[in-house]
Amino acid sequence: MKVFRTADATFVRSFEGHTHHVTGVSWRADGRLLATCGADGAVKVWDARSGDQQRTVEGAKKEVTSIRFVADSDTVIIGTGANTVRQLNAANGGGVRDYAGATDYVFSVAASGDGKTIVSGGQESVVRAWNDQGQVIATFEAPKSEPAPATAAK
């Protein structure tokens, strides 16, 4: 993963360590930590100022597809190709909470600004929202397609 200064497109730093392609990046609100996830099934936490890798969290059964810091905390939400949405402690790598319900590949995760709502979406065409205690508070399914009208034979 590489960081560039947007004002003038100047290269700032490279963060190297994943053994497969990087699938997600998230900055902590204070800009001091950076978290990456990848197809190697790993989450890596970096000191954004020095470029030093602080830790690697492994153990995902498949690729980690998406990552987001939760508010200004030391926790991240991850989505995986193994139908999993989890909250991890970026400071020590430990699991905080699992968010149940996904039945297929998770493409994306997000957290509200205050960290009280977690959202994911994926292959099953369902967006789920949980509260910060892991309880589902809303499920949005894709509209069912209407069958095409029958045409008369000529």
Partners of 127 in the β-ladder: 121, 140
Tokens encoding 70: 């939760």
Partners of 13 in the β-ladder: 3
Q: What is the pLDDT of residue 1?
A: 86
Burial of 37 (0-12, 13-18, 19+ CB in 10 A): buried
For 2-141, CATH number out of 3.50.50.60, 3.40.190.10, 2.130.10.10, 3.40.50.12780 equals 2.130.10.10
Global pTM value: 0.86
101 vs 98: CA distance, rounded Å? 10
117 vs 68: CA distance, rounded Å? 12
Q: What is the pLDDT of residue 147?
A: 73
Lookup result for tokens 């297929």: 104
Domain boundary assignment for the chain:
2-141
Tokens encoding 11: 């290269």
For residue 142, give Cα distances in angstroms to 100, 126, 128, 145: 19, 6, 12, 9
35 vs 32: CA distance, rounded Å? 10
Q: Per-residue pLDDT for the chain (154 aa), expressed as one digit of tens each?
A: 888 999 999 999 999 999 999 999 999 999 999 999 999 999 999 999 999 999 999 878 899 999 999 988 999 999 999 999 999 999 898 888 999 999 999 999 999 999 999 999 999 999 999 999 999 999 999 888 777 777 766 6
150 vs 39: CA distance, rounded Å? 45
